[in-house]
Structure formats: structure tokens, C-alpha cells
Amino acid sequence: MSQVIEGLYYSKDHEWARVDGDSAYVGITDYARTSLGDIVYCDAEPVGAVVTAGGTLGAVESVKAASDILSPVSGAVTEVNSDLLDNPERLAEDAYENWIVKITLNDASELNALMDAADYEAYCESL
Amino acid sequence: MRTVLYDEHIALGAQMTDFAGWEMPVKYSGILEEHRAVRQGAGLFDVSHMGELYLMGKEAYSYLNKLLTHNMSRLLDGKWAYSPMCYPSGGTVDDVIVYPWREGYLVCVNASNTDKDFEWIKSNAPEGVAVENISASFAQLALQGPDFKAVLEKVDLSAVHLKTPTGYTGERGCELYLAPENAPSLWCALIAAGAVPCGLGARDVLRTEAALPLYGHELSPEISPYEAGLDRFIDFSKQDFIGREALLRQREDNKTRRLTGIVMQGRAIARSGYEVFSPDGEPIGIITSGGVSPSLGRNIALCLLRGDFGGESVLVRIRGKNEPAEITPLPFYKKIR
């Protein structure tokens, strides 16, 4: 069973958001990581880029396939985890410690459209 | 369709996928781990989905020389022969391996092409050649890796009809043909003897590193074996084989596309279908296969480029950006032991 962490917000596309003041750290969930298999590439929009909820935030690739990372929230990228981008296989160690970008939250009410841990767990089980 | 080893794959926790209408294992423990097992030890593949055709008759040998581009004289010495098989246009029907077998020849064909190849070979056959599709009588296992002999020695091979020193990974190894009902116990015995089960995911990474063509990517009705760089398997000294004129014209035209190896300079991964440009931004070709190369620690790709492109560097369009790559001689990987 894939790991799901309390206190994070989850999207149907298997991204998570962790609120930090007026920003959020964003990454991909353990479910996404397990489905992809060996992750060999991860990329993200650069600092300063503006993203919309549901818009492309970056890409993650397994050996067999490329997959878009969609932003769960709208905002501007303030930090990129370049250490992770250089070592994408680290996502296999911990999908939640290894955030991909930090985004300023344009509209905190967007978080209401996301799932909490229990809902996300149930959602994954339904897939 | 399922091979006779389907239950074994499920029992091992394989992730399954559709390949040419067959439910086949993509991976068991993980693609990179399985790749490592083949490069450093011994990996085991279920390749029972491949097709087997049987040719016999007085004219069978000369027919094979007409049907296939390579010289078949090796068969007369009891050896196997790999060859492309072409349409009159020079495009590829399939790439096959032929073995002397019983009173005639066994032709092993790609799973995606079994029915097509059977029809093609039957319809072109002259008087004096009988052609049968005997795919249902065979299961096939491929054992690949530097330690394959040590594994093989521990196992009872009495059920094996045919053992060939062939493979699709760039490592030493063998392929074992046997009756389907005997395959599960041989599969289990090989694993117990130390072979690591490997799926199609690892298989694709391995064969790309070895620059081996995959039908549908490097070979197709629109891609000839000449374009695919299989010149050494086209014997122009044979006066008559299907596709000879077309392939000769391709060889004489310096613009004919040629399969080329590239290594990505950055982290971006080139994949099948991505466009390739010269450093000046001129479109010069397309990626046929690409991905990570764990053996090189780089990302590699095979691409079909215009034959008159003389540069050493190219750009690959990946998600709207032009990513640099360097041309490199093939194969990317050569076995170590």
C-alpha cells in the first residue's frame, strides 16, 4: 500500500501540497512514484514562473514513460529543489521529503478543491 | 493471448502489459534492477510469444536465399543465420533468425509479425517448398548474461528441442525452444539455479544499448535494413533476392537516411518520435528509440538521420526545447565478459 501523509493536500493527479505560511511545497505522491517505477528524470518550471492550478509544473519520467506534473495550486515558483532534479531517483526513498518546487499561494481557497489524506487514500483504493 | 508462463509471471508479482496482443511482463522487481542482473549475472526472459515457421522441401534453401537479404550459406554448415526480409520496395517485412531444423529450417519471427510473415513466406514460396506455422508447438526462454553457463549447468535440459547461442541483450546467452507444457518447470528450475526473471522493460533498455533493431522502430515497411545500418546482413553479391534493386538504389543515394547513435548532453531523455535538428535548426531526422542507458550513465537514442548530414552534434526537440546531443559510434555498449 502506498504511503499517504496527514496534513498534506492531495490532487487527483497524484501531486501533494504542504502549506508553509503563504506558500506551499509541492511534490508527487508515493502512489505516483510507485506507479511510475524507477524514476530517471525530473524537471520543473524555473523560479519566477507563474503556474495555474491544473497547469504543467514540470515533468517526471520513468524508464518507460514521461509524465507531466500538474500544479495543485496557482502561484509563482519561488524555489526549485535542484538537488532532487540532479538525483531524481531520490523520489524512491521518500516522495514527501523530496519536494519539487515551492510556490507562493495566489488563492488559498484553491486548497478546498484538493483532498485530505483520508480522501486521497480512499481515492487511490478506488483506482 | 497468454503464454504458457502467464501464471508464473503473476506469481512473481510481474506488472503485465499488452505486446502485440500478448499479455507479457514489463517488469518484476524493477527495470533497472533487472537490467543490472543481465549485465552482471544472468537474466531470464519469457519470449514464448515469438513465432516459429517451418520450411522444408527441395527448394527450401534456395528459396530462403531469395526471401532473405543475407547469405544463407551458414545454414549449410549447420549454423544459424540472422537476416532482414524485405518487400520489393526495400522496406522490411521482418527481421528473423533461421536455424537448420529437422529436415528443413525453423524461422523465428517477431511476435507482432507472425501471421503476416507466414502469409508472406507462403505466398512467395515456389513449388517444392512447404511452409507451416508451428508457433503453437513452442515455448521459448532466453537466458542472458555473463553467468548464463553457470546457471544452465545446474538445470535438466532434456526437454529442450533447440538451444541457440543467440539473444537480444548484447550479452552472452542462449535461447531455449521447448514444448509449452515443459516450459513452467524449466522456467522455475532456471530461477532456482540463479537466473533473475526479467521483463520487456529491461529487454528494451538492453537491446537499445546494444543498438539492436526493434521492428516497428528501426525496421518497418517504411524503413529498410540498409537505412537501419544492417548492411552486413545484405549480401548484394546474391544476384536475386526480394528488395535487391531498391536497396542498391538506396546505397547509391547519399541522402538515404541512416541509423545513427546519439548521446544526450544533459539530463533530458530523447524518446521515439521526437524530432532531430541540425545545430542550425534544420530538421534532419527522427528518434526511433531512446531512453536511459544505465550502463553508460547517460541518456542515449537511435535516430534516422539524412545520409548527407555530416555534423557531429544534433539537437533533439523535447517538450518544446532543443536539447543537445553528440553523435556516437554504435553499439553504445559492448559486453565485458
Task: List chain A residues with CB under 8 Å of B292.
Answer: 40-41, 63
Joined grid coordinates for residue B235: 549480401
- With CB atoms and an 8 Å threshold, state whether A64 touches B201: yes
Q: Which of B59, B30, B47 is nearest to B292 (CA)?
A: B30
Q: In chain A, which residues have their Cβ closer than 8 Å to the Cβ of B268?
A: 41, 43
The string of pLDDT tens digits covering residues B38-91 is 999 999 999 999 999 999 999 999 999 999 999 999 999 999 999 999 999 999
Interchain proximity B30–A85, CB inside 8 Å: no
Tell me the three state secondary structure of residue A67.
strand
Query: Min CA distance, A35 vs chain B (Å)?
Result: 10
What are the DSSP calls for B308-333, one per residue? T---SEEEEEETTEEEEEEEEPSPS-
Contact check, Cβ <8 Å, A59/B267 = no
Task: Looking at the complex, report in whole angstroms how far the Cα of residue A22 sits from the nearest Cα belonging to chain B.
Answer: 31
A38 neighbourhood in chain B, CB within 8 Å: 30-32
Size of interface A-B (CB pairs under 8 A): 33
Q: State the pLDDT at residue B88.
A: 98
B205 → closest Cβ in A43, A63, A86 = A63
Would you call B292 and A85 a contact, using CB atoms and an 8 Å cutoff? no
Whether the complex's predicted ipTM is more than 0.85 is answered with yes
> Coil, helix or strand for A4?
coil
Contact A66 B271 (CB under 8 A): yes
Residue of A nearest to B268 (CA): A41
For chain B, say whether A34 makes contact (Cβ under 8 Å): no
Torsion over CA: B155, B160, B162, B166 (sign): negative
Q: Name the band, by pLDDT with cuts 50, 70 and 90, for residue A1.
A: low
Whole-Å CA distances, A42 to A33, A57, A65, B93: 12, 11, 12, 38
- Chain B residues in contact with A43 by the CB 8 A cut-off are 267-268
| Strand B43-46, strand B196-197: pairing | parallel
What confidence tier does B336 reach under pLDDT thresholds 50, 70, 90?
confident
* Contacts with A86 from chain B: Cβ below 8 Å: 267
Contact B269 A40 (CB under 8 A): yes
* % of chain B at pLDDT higher than 90: 99
Round the average pLDDT of chain A to a whole number and report it.
Answer: 95
Q: Does the distance separating the beta carbons of B31 and A38 come in below 8 Å?
A: yes
Whole-number average pLDDT of chain B: 97
Mean pLDDT across the stretch A13-37? 96
Residues with Cβ within 8 Å of A112's Cβ and at least 6 positions away in sequence, in order, are: none
Q: What is the pLDDT of residue B130?
A: 98
Q: What mean pLDDT comes out for the span B292-308?
A: 97
